[in-house]
Amino acid sequence: MSVSGVNGTGQRRPTMKEVAARAGVALKTVSRVVNEEPNVSPELTAKVQAAIKELNYTPNESARMLRRGKTGTIAVVIRDIGDPFFASLGRAVELWARSSGSVVMIGLTDEDPEREREVCLEFVARRPDALIMAPIGETQEYLAPHVDAGMAVVTIDRPAHGIEADAVLADNAGGIDQAIDHLVRQGHRRIAYLGDDERIFTARERVVAYRAAMARHGIVVDEDLVHLSEPTTEGIGITLSAVLDRSEPATALLSANNMTTAEVLRGLAGRRDQVALVSFDDLALGDLLSPGLTAVAQSADVMARTAIQLMTERLPEPHRPGRTVRVPVKLTIRGSGEIPPAR
C-alpha cells in the first residue's frame, strides 16, 4: 500500500516548500502552479516548473484531494493522548497532515460514549473533510447525516456501527495466538488472562481468541484465572493476588493491553522473575525492564498510514461500501515471556 510522503522506492518526496525555495518564489505561488490555478505570470510559472523538474517533485494527490474539499481539515477523535498507542497514532496523522498542508483537530473521549458524541458533533459542525476516530459508543449513527453529505469516516482500533465507514483494526486474534503459542512452548498451561471490560470491542476479540487458543492446545480454561476489568492500580493488585497467591497459581500472565500491563508490572515488583508475562501492546521502555518485556506489538504508525490511505481513497467515493483492513502484529521476545514454570 502506497503512503503519502514516500515514493515507490521508499525515498522521501521533495516538498512543495522545497520547490518554492529552489524557485525563489512564495509557497502559495507553487501551489497555484501545481493546481493549475490562474493569475500566475509565465515567468514565475517557468521558474516553478524548472524547480519541479530539478527536484523530481511529484504533487501529493492525497493532499490535493483534501484541499479541493470543503476545508482541508481532518478531525481525529481518540480515547486518551496519554495512552502510548493513541499518542503515536495522533502524531502520525499530524505529521502526514503537516506534509500535505492540511490541518488536524484532535479531541479526546476518555472512553466515555457521551463525550465521543459531543466531540464528534462539535468537530463535524466545522465541516472537516474527514474524520478518523476510535469508536467507543455502541453506535455512531449520529454521524449518518454527515456521512450522507460526503464526509469520509475511517475508524481505527474498533469498527463503527450505524454508518458506512472504513476500519483499520489490529489482528487481535493473531496476536493472542502468538502469545499463547509462545507461552505453551515454554511449558506453561496455567496461563492467567488479564483484560479490559468485555464490552470494549478489542477486549472482547482478545478474550475470545484467548479461549480459542487455549482450547487449540487442549488446555481447559480455569475461569478463576480470567479477569476482565478496568486497569486500576488497586484492581490489578487484587487480581494478581487472586491468580498468584493460591494453591495452584498461574505460572504465566497474558496482559491484554498496555494500560493493564503497566499496572501488572507495578504489582509484580519484586517478583517479576518468578512468573512469565506477555503483553498485548508494547511499552515504550519495555526493552529496558529486567527482564525485558515480551510483547505483541501493534504499529500505531502503520495503522495511521493505512487509515490515511483509506481516507484519501474514500474522499472521491464517499458512498462506497466500507472496507476493513486488519494490520498484522508481531511478537517481540525480550525475556519476561521466557520464564519457565516453577517446578
Higher pLDDT, 120 or 72: 120
Average pLDDT over residues 317-321: 87
Percentage of the chain modeled with pLDDT above 90: 63
Find the length of the chain: 343
Q: CA-to-CA distance for 139 and 148, rounded, in angstroms? A: 16
Whether residues 223 and 315 share a domain: the answer is no
Helix residue spans in 149-218 (DSSP H): 172-185, 201-216
Angle (deg, nearest 10), helices 201-216 and 172-185: 40
Three cell numbers, residue 80: 486518551
Q: CA-to-CA distance for 192 and 210, rounded, in angstroms? A: 10
Phi, psi of 146 (to 5 degrees): -75, -35
Query: Are the C-beta atoms of 49 and 22 separated by less than 8 Å?
Result: no
pLDDT at 10 exceeding the cut of 50: no
Q: CA-to-CA distance for 277 and 294, rounded, in angstroms? A: 7
Note the pLDDT tens digit of each residue in 271-296: 999 999 999 999 988 999 999 999 99
Please tell me the predicted confidence (pLDDT) of residue 2: 33
Whether residues 267 and 295 share a domain: the answer is yes
Whether residues 304 and 289 share a domain: the answer is no
Please tell me the predicted confidence (pLDDT) of residue 51: 92
- Phi/psi region, residue 12 (left: phi>0; alpha: psi -120 to 50; beta: rest), is beta
Q: CA-to-CA distance for 266 and 236, rounded, in angstroms? A: 9
Sole residue written with cell 500535505: 100
Whether residues 178 and 291 share a domain: the answer is yes
Q: Which domain holds residue 28?
A: 16-59
Three cell numbers, residue 252: 504465566
Q: How many domains does the chain have?
A: 3
Instruction: Determine, yes or no, domain membership for 8.
Output: no
CATH at 32: 1.10.260.40
Please tell me the predicted confidence (pLDDT) of residue 68: 55
Q: pLDDT grade, residue 86 (50/70/90)?
A: confident
